[in-house]
Structure 1
Amino acid sequence: MDSLTTEQILDAHLDDWRKLAQALHARYLTGDFAAGLRFVTAVGAAAEGANHHPDVTLTYPHVDLKLISHDAGALTQRDVDLARRISEIAREQGVAADPHAVAEIELALDTADLAAVGPFWAALLTGSTDALHGSDVVDPKGRLPLLWFQDTDHHRTPRQRFHVDLWLPHDIAESRIAAAVAAGGTVVDNDNAPSFVVLADPEGNRSCVCTCLDR
């Protein structure tokens, strides 16, 4: 099945869901464990019927879901269709969504030699170099955040090599950046906004606030 562009995902108007780094994410406020279990059971039945399965995290006050077509390595119409069905289930059960609560951390490492450092980090983090997919280390068991290798030039002077990419819903990124600046941060580079904005803390440590837009 063909992968969908970010524009196609946004045009689908999946109000409960937000696209972050790669997948669709949603949080449903079930309120207690029993209600969450009922919701997850209904979602599981829908997933079995569609032969397409989300990642599900059930906690006492809420349920988190993640959708991506692993065989395509991208979002496809299967994800859109199942997201819509899950939203219908939530409405049927009176469960509210909180799309602005979703977020995702990605670690980024500057490197001029991916072929040299990529296998090391894959083996260290997951136990196998097979976890290196292109410029990413992907933990097949879902225990670790994504590690992305950012291509850079060779350099001798010390500089920050690791930084945190914070993926946020596209419709709250600006307010989060403003909050970080009000708390003492600085906007270092916004030339690529709204795709990403580089921030620095008062000591110069950098982070990128990333969204799915303009990618």
Structure 2
Amino acid sequence: MTRETSDDDVVLSAGHITAAVGDLGWRYVLGTLRASIRLGPLWQVAEVATELIRACGTAADGCLRLDLRPGRLELVLHPPDPAGLTGRELTHARTIATAAAEMGLPLEPDADGRRSVQALEIAIDALDIAEIRPFWKAVLGYADEPGGGGPGDPIVDPLAQGPAIWFQQLSGPRAQRNRLHLDVSVPHDEAPQRIRAALGAGGTLLSETRAPSFWILADCEDNEACVTTWQGRD
């Protein structure tokens, strides 16, 4: 395991983060740590969520997000600093894992047998990003990404409920290719299975030259999607 840093303000690499808390049930996905807990009715989900929040205290208010659904609690630790996750968030990750284990509820990326944790981005190909970006920002009610705001920067949901939107520069018109595709960020060790499932469902692998950073796939009508991981990006 990678040696731990004692400086909570140091931004950590994806490899360091995975080595530090991956065995606790957390998965590093698209700059965040994500995990789930399999539970029962919604009242139980709410009670467990409350206990985990209490374990972290108010210090986690700026980095912890919870999604409560009957049968499942999903946890996300995101970086308050746009530069990335630090030792402070790793401390919260360990605290949550310990508190959950003491309740007999281990963290796991797949808590309901349907799919693992993941993060979704939408990419829009554009000839003039600066011209179309204000439209998408306005029509979605989105805001500038923290630390961003430039004419080519991504835009995000200020309530952190919708996927981030980023813009990819086109070198010229592409009449025969879709100009909007999905980026599905998954835990690095689950990408191969996700790709096999997509190919088994009639998809085509267009490119793996940038794997394991991302693979480009397409459906039978050539609509594209990228399966991405943190690997190859540090």
Is this a same-fold pair by TM over 0.5? Answer: yes
Q: 1:73 deviation in Å?
A: 4.8
CA contact (8 A) 1:173 1:209 kept: yes
Specify every segment of 5 or more residues in structure 2 that has no aligned partner in the other structure, as ranges.
1-8, 111-115
CA contact (8 A) 1:68 1:76 kept: no
Q: 1:129 deviation in Å?
A: 6.5
Q: Aligned pair 1:2/2:17, yes or no?
A: no
Q: Aligned pair 1:141/2:190, yes or no?
A: no
How far does the alpha carbon of each residue in 1:94-136 deviate from its partner, in whole angstroms, 9 at most, with x for none? 1133314201221001123222121221111116668874521
* Code of the aligned partner of 2:14: T
Structure 1 residues 24 and 129, CA gap change in structure 2 (3 angstroms): closer
Aligned to 1:176: 194
* Code of the aligned partner of 1:106: E
Q: Partner of 1:118: helix, strand, or coil? A: helix
* Code of the aligned partner of 1:92: E
Aligned to 1:195: 213
Structure 1 residues 84 and 127, CA gap change in structure 2 (3 angstroms): closer
Aligned to 1:90: 100
Q: Aligned pair 1:35/2:50, yes or no?
A: no
Range moving further from structure 2, 122-131 or 141-150:
122-131
Structure 1 residues 108 and 35, CA gap change in structure 2 (3 angstroms): same
Q: Partner of 2:94: helix, strand, or coil? A: helix
CA contact (8 A) 2:185 2:229 kept: yes
Aligned to 2:74: 64
Percent identity, aligned pairs only, is 35
* Code of the aligned partner of 2:37: Y
Q: How does 1:116-135 map to 2 (within 5 A)?
A: 116-126=131-141, 133-134=149-150, 135=153
CA contact (8 A) 1:14 1:83 kept: no
How far does the alpha carbon of each residue in 1:45-74 deviate from its partner, in whole angstroms, 9 at most, with x for none? 123253544111112211111111224452
Structure 1 residues 20 and 118, CA gap change in structure 2 (3 angstroms): same
Q: Aligned pair 1:50/2:59, yes or no?
A: yes
Structure 2 Cα separation of the partners of residues 80 and 64 of structure 1: 17
Structure 1 residues 127 and 17, CA gap change in structure 2 (3 angstroms): closer
Over the residues paired in the alignment, what is the CA RMSD in angstroms?
2.1
Range moving further from structure 2, 25-34 or 55-64:
25-34
Aligned to 1:213: 231
Structure 1 runs of 4+ off > 3 angstroms?
A: 49-53, 127-134
TM-score after normalising by structure 2: 0.84
Structure 1 Cα separation of the partners of residues 85 and 144 of structure 2: 25
Structure 2 Cα separation of the partners of residues 155 and 97 of structure 1: 46
Specify every segment of 5 or more residues in structure 1 that has no aligned partner in the other structure, as ranges.
none
Range moving further from structure 2, 68-77 or 203-212:
68-77
TM-score after normalising by structure 1: 0.90
Structure 2 Cα separation of the partners of residues 83 and 112 of structure 1: 41
Q: Partner of 2:123: helix, strand, or coil? A: strand
Structure 2 Cα separation of the partners of residues 27 and 14 of structure 1: 13
Range moving further from structure 2, 203-212 or 19-28:
19-28
User: How many corresponding residue pairs?
Assistant: 215
